[in-house]
Chains A and B, each alone.
Chain A
């Protein structure tokens, strides 16, 4: 069974800028796949290459095994939920949702019926006759979703759909989207810059940086076994220790990552226990997050390390800013990283 989407050495150049640089990936049918990365990393361009709004400068994009180079968006079995929703302001909500059927000349009665079904699916029954301009952000989002699903596409593309929503709504929508995907069994390709979203929703994630895929793995794999310093920092917010400090602590110059919640702080300068690696540092900042606190400490060679500690509720174990502490972590939790090529 061919992959739902496949990229074979796909590049997209804009003049001298390589927005997408030799990307290979394969997305299985029914998968919830996330494209994660900072702005300008090429993830949105990849999405547009799948949708057909861009053509690759080189390489091939395959949908369901067939090369779709030169195939326009209206002939692809792929639908998109846009970041700004792109609802048509001169049509009602129901007309927006039924648009995909209207352009295929489905009879009006059936259009109405299926539009109402889709609105019920996204829990917006009764809002069919409203104008899109009268809806809240979350409602517009659902209309855009219903509109994109009405043609039963093989693949649904979502371009940072939850960016404009507040935190509570975003979290609720994440759960809804995941449930919807499970229920409909459609391949979802989800673009986001929020690693929390990608980790919680996706089956597999491709991490992008400067047009290339740094690592393609399951969320757990990305978090526990990052391959490069970029992935370690971007996905887990892990500490990356390299250079002299790495050599001093491990004997080898190879960089490694250590997750902030694996580290412990100790006020004493006592030597570390079994299997622990550590060094001395000065406290420079602390951020209170309710259930935990995130400490920033600076080692004597200038590396800033983050330590996340659960809050016990008591005031014990707090250190003043500028105070000297010892950071330590279990040696087995250290993740070796690839050498970063010289910039």
Chain B
């Protein structure tokens, strides 16, 4: 009896029906996500009392001052940013030929096989993959063994003696870290890119060739601009995931700190939540800047 009145009410006022459906995700978005994000932001405007080691709930810019005035902290930010940019560029370059082949040239069977192949690593635990890579990249690991066997170990030596990115072994150098980052985030770049490339109609590519454009011209005047949203989406993944990661720098890589590691350490052993929060705000700001730049360059125009 009451049920019928209720359903009639929702049928008549469809706005309430919509609100009812949206309530759970809105609650989640509002309290769990936005709420915690806001709490974090608030924390970054507090400061820690040197003597009592407790958080003083008074709005201040002291924490941000501490963040940017220590050269070590700025180093950390720049290092993370540099790695994120390098990983994004490398992923884009590697993903493009593969995504292009998958979207436009592969037979249906080959396409299905490749899609499964690209997604298969994501079925494995993240930690297992990272530790596996540490073993692969180690001094006595498989990679150096292969290179020695085929006589390319001078190449490895040269790579490891390069300043900044080199190190005692691949597993403890920025180069090794870079390799692992690219491996981890590559599916996130390939899939949106393949989806965007698939949406470029074949007739448009043919029209371009028909009008006299050679394959390279067709690529950079027709295909690339239309694939740009996919590239932008993939790059947002690789960029933001690298900025915030704290496991890979811990397991594989040089002693230098990354933002994620700093956040973990500051909120843990150091107990300096405001500083951890301030460090967390940096990637948010960086990504906001990145998105604005991408939009300004027209990455989202073709959407």
Contacts and interface: CB of A to CB of B under 8 A. Distances in A.
Helix, strand, loop or mixed for chain B's interface?
helix
A88 B223 CA distance: 10
A103 B215 CA distance: 11
B213 A103 contact: yes
B207 A80 contact: yes
Contacts of A12: none
A64 B95 CA distance: 43
Interface string B76-114: 000000000000000000000000000000000000000
B236 interface: no
B210 A88 contact: no
A151 B203 CA distance: 19
Nearest to A147: B211
A147 B212 CA distance: 12
Interface in B172-208: 201, 203-204, 206-208
Contact of A86 (B207, B214, B226, B301): B207
A295 interface: no
A187 to B, nearest CB: 16
A103 B212 contact: yes
Interface in A159-195: none
Contacts of B301: 90
Given A84-B203, A90-B226, A90-B302, A79 B221 contact: no
Interface residues of A, number: 24
B55 interface: no
Contacts of B214: 74, 103
Contacts of A51: 206, 210
Given A86-B201, A103-B217, A147-B211, A73 B206 contact: yes
Contacts, number: 65
Contact of B212 (A53, A74, A84, A90): A74
A271 interface: no
Contacts of A73: 206, 209-210
B222 interface: yes
Contacts of B204: 86, 88
Interface in B130-183: none
A79 B212 CA distance: 9
B271 interface: no
Interface string B224-241: 011000000000000000
Interface in A80-110: 80, 82-84, 86, 88-90, 99-100, 102-104
A112 B175 CA distance: 49
Given A86-B201, A90-B301, A103 B221 contact: yes
A86 B211 contact: no
Contacts of A90: 225-226, 301-302
Given A88-B222, A90-B225, A90-B301, A100 B206 contact: no
Contacts of A86: 201, 203-204, 206-207
A151 B209 CA distance: 13
Nearest to A76: B210
Contacts of B212: 74, 100, 103-104, 151
A53 B201 CA distance: 15
A100 B213 CA distance: 8
A72 interface: yes
A99 B211 contact: yes
Nearest to A100: B211
Contact of B213 (A53, A74, A79, A147): A74
A82 B206 contact: yes
B104 to A, nearest CB: 14
A133 B123 CA distance: 41
Contacts of B226: 89-90
Interface string B262-303: 000000000000000000000000000000000000000110
Nearest to B205: A86
Contacts of B210: 51-53, 73-74, 78-80, 148
Contact of B211 (A53, A89, A103): A103
B7 to A, nearest CB: 41
A72 B209 contact: yes
A88 B205 CA distance: 10
B302 A82 contact: no
Interface in A41-67: 51-53
B197 to A, nearest CB: 14
A102 B212 CA distance: 9
A79 B211 contact: yes
A51 B208 CA distance: 12
A82 B203 contact: yes
A149 to B, nearest CB: 11
A95 B207 CA distance: 14
Contacts of B302: 89-90
Contacts of A84: 201, 203
Contacts of B221: 99, 102-103
Given A103-B217, A103-B221, A74 B201 contact: no
Nearest to B204: A86
Contact of A53 (B206, B217, B222, B225): B206
A176 B225 CA distance: 34
A152 B298 CA distance: 33
Contacts of B203: 82-84, 86
Most buried by A among B208, B210, B213: B210
Contacts of B209: 52-53, 72-74
A30 B214 CA distance: 28
Interface of A: 51-53, 72-74, 78-80, 82-84, 86, 88-90, 99-100, 102-104, 147-148, 151
9 contacts: A51-B210, A52-B210, A74-B210, A88-B208, A89-B302, A99-B208, A103-B208, A147-B211, A151-B211
Given A74-B211, A74-B214, 10 more contacts: A52-B210, A72-B209, A73-B206, A78-B210, A84-B203, A86-B203, A103-B208, A103-B211, A103-B213, A151-B212
